[in-house]
Amino acid sequence: MNAPEILVEVAPELAVFVPHARRTGIHPLAVDGVSTLGHVVESLGVPLTEVGALLVDGHEVPVSHIPAHGESVAVRPVTRPQQVPGAPLRFLLDVHLGTLARRLRLLGVDTAYESTDIGDPALAARSAAEQRVMLSRDRGLLRRRELWAGAFVYSTRPEDQLRDVLDRFRPDLRPWTRCTACNGLLHAATKDEVADQLEHGTHRSYDVFARCESCGRAYWKGAHHEQLEAIVEDALSMRAQGN
């Protein structure tokens, strides 16, 4: 007796996760009559964090649905902007996304970051404990059930990563309010308050400073300010255009 089969169509936006032979069109897939549709989708390589709606014969079903022989399944991507109910929008990034973490912090987005590899269980536990959206390129990490919420980072280029996260989640932007080193909040500081961190040329050339309330790091409009300003302006322009 042949195994029961369903017909599966994966949205083009999710094609990166599935084998090349399944990236376009509708394809048969054997099912066992026991596994949930969520499990079946994950077996194809698609993290559930990336799935918006699951349609069976045109009707939306939960991930707990048990697919039956002959059903037609459409796997759709998350709707943008994606809403994450239940907690203020904040992020947790793994060890491979340090540049993205610093850029999100530059924009004032609450972004925790692990600079060392603490392992998937610890990351997932922190995501749940602090109710943070886990951003990662690690599909295995994003499949962990204890995650508060998660999202796959599709690009390897920090510029594209940032634009994708801003487009997907539309976080509130408050540039220049967070420490790019530790995520603490910045407050205005006098030159005397940060004098111990200033070289002679900096002390002589700058008068406006900020300091992190958490780690004490001082900030001023130094040599790299124009580059940082360009990142901020691009993000604000993107927000103003609704993209």
150 — phi, psi (to 5°)? -155, 165
Digit-coded pLDDT (tens) for 58-80:
999 999 999 999 999 999 999 99
Query: Residue 1: what pLDDT?
Result: 55
On the CB side of 48, CA atoms within 13 Å amount to 19
CA distance 153 to 69: 34
Decide if 104 contacts 165 (C-beta within 8 A): yes
Give the per-residue pLDDT at 239.
86
Average pLDDT, the chain: 94
Q: Does residue 243 carry a pLDDT above 70?
A: no
Question: Which residues pair with residue 113 across a beta bridge?
Answer: 93
Higher-scoring residue by pLDDT: 131, 192: 131
Q: Report phi then psi at 206, rounded to 5.
A: -125, 150
- Kindly state the tokens that stand for 89: 């929008």
Quick: pLDDT tens for 16-25: 999 998 999 9
Q: 30: which 2 tokens?
A: 């054997």
Count H helices and E strands in the chain, helices first.
7, 12
pLDDT for 223? 77
Q: Which amino acid is at 22?
A: R
